[in-house]
Amino acid sequence: MKYKSIAIDGPSGAGKSTMAKKLAEELGFLYVDTGAIYRTLGLFALNMGADPAAEEEVKPLLPQISIKMAYGEDGLQHMYLGEKDVTLAIRQPEVSTAASKVSAIPAVRAFLLDMQRDMAKTNNVIMDGRDIGTVVLPQADAKIFLDASAEARAQRRYAELLERGVDTDYETVLRDIRERDARDTGRAAAPLRKAEDAVSVDTTNYSLEESFQLLLQTVREQLA
């Protein structure tokens, strides 16, 4: 059986995971958050006392790492480091930075590639990340590049962090977003960029519901 795949790429805070989760529910596809996989590897590097930006420190750790991904009874994607469920731990801001740093290392990207592709071999998937349409699933049936201005993304992320009780301010969140954008787009290995055949959707001036409807319509057109 040939499974369908939908690739959603874009910068941090563009709303990829929120949109992809809703789309997955609507279409009955499996949602795969590939950022969570890089985050788990970033957390492992931090736990091992390695500098996440240093290839010579991270590469020798790869044979020791056991990353697993499983879908819980809640239907959510859980990440495991060894036997430990790190689903919540990988959302800490220092892990976001570590993930962005380890993800620039080519050996890390090669190490995680099959794990991502295997999911699409056995499921209809909506996968979000930075290089899904360009590298992981270049043959995806639908491709979206989801974007919004850095200010709009920072505003949304700031509101989300406040709601979760994280003590921060808008300027710090905006600076973090800009730094991550620069790292994710500026790296040599699989940089963030729009696939030629991806459809761009900019949500700067749209509400969540408007963005979702726009995305759903675009994906349905591509799948048809």
Q: Which residues bind ligand DC (CB under 6 A)?
A: 12, 34-35, 38-39, 96, 99-100, 103, 129-132, 180, 184
Nearer residue to ligand DC within complex by CB, 131 or 147 = 131
Nearer residue to ligand DC within complex by CB, 31 or 38 = 38
* Nearest of 211, 221, 216 to residue 13 by alpha carbon: 211
Nearer residue to ligand DC within complex by CB, 43 or 219 = 43
Nearer residue to ligand DC within complex by CB, 176 or 219 = 176
136 close to 129: Cβ distance less than 8 angstroms: yes
Output the smallest distance, CB 215 to ligand DC, in A: 17
17 close to 130: Cβ distance less than 8 angstroms: no
Nearer residue to ligand DC within complex by CB, 41 or 219 = 41
Output the smallest distance, CB 140 to ligand DC, in A: 13
Output the smallest distance, CB 103 to ligand DC, in A: 3
Output the smallest distance, CB 224 to ligand DC, in A: 26
Output the smallest distance, CB 162 to ligand DC, in A: 18
Nearer residue to ligand DC within complex by CB, 39 or 212 = 39
Output the smallest distance, CB 25 to ligand DC, in A: 19
Output the smallest distance, CB 184 to ligand DC, in A: 5
DSSP for the chain reads -PPPEEEEE--TTSSHHHHHHHHHHHHTPEEEEHHHHHHHHHHHHHHTT--TT-HHHHGGGGGG--EEEEE-TTS-EEEEETTEE-TTGGGSHHHHHHHHHHTT-HHHHHHHHHHHHHHHHSS-EEEEESSIIIII-TT-SEEEEEE--HHHHHHHHHHHHHHTT----HHHHHHHHHHHHHHHHH-SSS-S---TTPEEEE-TT--HHHHHHHHHHHHHHHH-
The amino acid present at 91, given as its one-letter code, is R
Nearer residue to ligand DC within complex by CB, 22 or 130 = 130
